Amino acid sequence: MPRPFVAYLRVYEPLSALDAPLAHQVRKALDAGVLSRADAGTRERELWLRSQLARPRRLLPGERSDGTVAPDAPFDVLTLSPAEVPGEVGPAPLVCPLDVRPRSAAALVGFLATSTVPLQDAALSVRPEAVKSRAAAVMAELTGGAVHVISTTWTVPLPWFALFDPEARHIVLAPRDDPERQVSWRASMSDARRRAARARKVVATALGDDGPAKVLADTARWLDHFAPDSAVELDYGGLVQLIDDNDLLEDTSAQDVNAIVDALEAGDAEEVALRYEQLRDFWSELARRERHG
């Protein structure tokens, strides 16, 4: 079975920066063995399917049937070495809890906001009001106020590329079905915040506060929840299964987005149009796959 077609924006915090309850959970997970980045998407899918196939069905992964957290609820963590990140981060270990339960809760709230009532009735075992209440309670459990991972299916929000130096790309061209196949960028938190702030200001001035500027503003607010010596990672995740080697090597998305920010600041409309056309050409194939399967 292919990996989920999901891309990720992750924050890895120093273990020493975490509050006591979360730090204890992370230490236990580290002692048990960390999850590999290549297996993260498959693990999340497994936990979600297990919760939905249970009888009675669970609303969220890691729960008992009454909605309380199961004592053996999985808690998975990714790690990253400071040496793999440009700039000043750390100290080691840098850790990224997957936060599967609160992320699932947030996804359910999003599902309620975008789906029809008949679909909600078919998919959910409890009323929407109960889902919203449960989701709010789960999100309130986050000691730092935010999940360490945000994700999207089938594509990458283009403003995310503005957080990274295009030259910081890490690429592994394993076979398409090999979980080691990957494309990612990493940045220190200070650099990601600086880039996000500059891009948001430029884009908002040129195009207004909606659209890309809002994505950048929301992303910047999310980054503010974490320790200043953290690392930020953009990972194509399972999307690399849909893109052949030549296209991955020739992918200039990070360069194009950063060039668009520069061109907007300089008032160079022709360069903006050229770069946007390149982005559209690259990502339109994935959009077609999402529509037609």
Residue with tokens 């399917």: 49
Q: What's residue 122's pLDDT?
A: 79
Q: What's residue 292's pLDDT?
A: 57
Q: Is-above-0.95 flag for pTM? A: no
Read off the tokens for 13. Answer: 């915090």
Orientation of helix 212-223 relative to helix 189-207, angle to 10°: 150
Q: What's residue 36's pLDDT?
A: 86
User: 112, 103, 96, 163: which is closest to 138 by C-alpha?
Assistant: 103
Residue 186: beta bridge partners?
Answer: 233
Tens-level pLDDT at each residue, the chain (293 residues): 788 999 999 999 999 999 888 999 999 999 988 888 888 888 888 888 888 778 777 878 888 877 778 777 788 999 999 999 999 999 999 999 999 888 988 888 888 888 888 888 877 777 888 888 888 888 887 877 899 999 999 999 999 999 999 999 999 999 998 989 999 999 999 999 999 999 999 999 999 999 999 999 999 999 999 999 999 999 999 999 999 999 999 999 999 999 999 999 999 999 999 999 999 999 988 877 766 55
